[in-house]
Amino acid sequence: MVRINAILFLLILAATACSKEKSNRNKVAGVWEIEKLEQDFYSGNQVDSSKTEENAGKFILINEGSSDFNGFYYDFSKETNKYAFLPLMQAQSLGTMKDECNWNMDDVSDERLTLFVGTITSNWYTHISFSRIQKAQGLKVREKWQYLELNTDGSLRIKEVYTLKRIKS
């Protein structure tokens, strides 16, 4: 029995030698419903105005097994301003596929998710990053992703928090 347990422990060690990036990618791949989008607009480091939108649409993160290129689609229920996506929308002309961009996760941290639009040949990407400020784990089924946009002097201009529920992994 001791021998079997010891060998099992070593096999677990071997399994964990696998890619961290792959594990991180699996944590966020799937279809996410945007239950709530909260936007804070700042002026002089103070919240100037706020806006909340319920059922704002869906994010679809396709896991294509790539450390860099995985398909990403968004489906917004209303054509209101999602500031995180403005740079991506403006950059779509660089790409060849409408309404599509790519995503990847860091290979070490599961906190940062990057969405980007561009072409492989151009080697030039427009990207935004979300930080997962609340992760789905245990009894928590929802995640919160945060996007920050700054003024040129480094002060905060916009904060967006997406409350998401994964409806398909």
Partner 1 sequence: MIAIRKVILAVLFAIVSTVALAQFNVGLGLSGGIMPLRHKSFNRFAESWNSFYNGILDKPLKPFGLAYTQEVILSFRFSNALDLSAGFVGQRAKTDCDYTNGDQREFKFSNHLFVFEMGMGPGDPEVGWITFLLGFSFGNTVIDSWYIQSDGIKSIGQERYWNGSFSSFTVGCYPGIKASVGIRNVKLQLRADYMLPWFGGTQYRDRNFARLFSNTYSAEVLPTDVPTYYNDQLNYVNVADRNAGYVNNKFSGFRIQAGLVFELGTD
Instruction: Summarize as ranges the residues that interact with partner 1 (CB under 8 A).
Output: 1-3, 5-7, 9-11, 13-14, 16-17, 20, 45, 67-68, 102, 104, 106-109, 111-112, 114, 116, 118, 123-131, 133, 147-150, 154, 156, 159
In the bound state with partner 1, the residue whose beta carbon lies nearer, of 56 and 115, is 115
Q: How far is the CB of 56 from partner 1 (least distance, A)?
A: 20
Whole-angstrom CA distances from 25 to 28, 30, 42, 69 are 6, 10, 32, 11
Q: How far is the CB of 1 from partner 1 (least distance, A)?
A: 8
In the bound state with partner 1, the residue whose beta carbon lies nearer, of 112 and 165, is 112
In the bound state with partner 1, the residue whose beta carbon lies nearer, of 48 and 77, is 48
Q: What backbone phi and psi angles, to 5 degrees, belong to 36?
A: -150, 140
Q: How far is the CB of 75 from partner 1 (least distance, A)?
A: 22
Q: Is the separation of the CB atoms in 18 and 146 below 8 Å? A: no
Q: How far apart are CA 114 and CA 164, in angstroms?
A: 16
Q: How far is the CB of 93 from partner 1 (least distance, A)?
A: 14
Whole-angstrom CA distances from 132 to 12, 14, 107, 129, 160 are 28, 29, 15, 10, 12
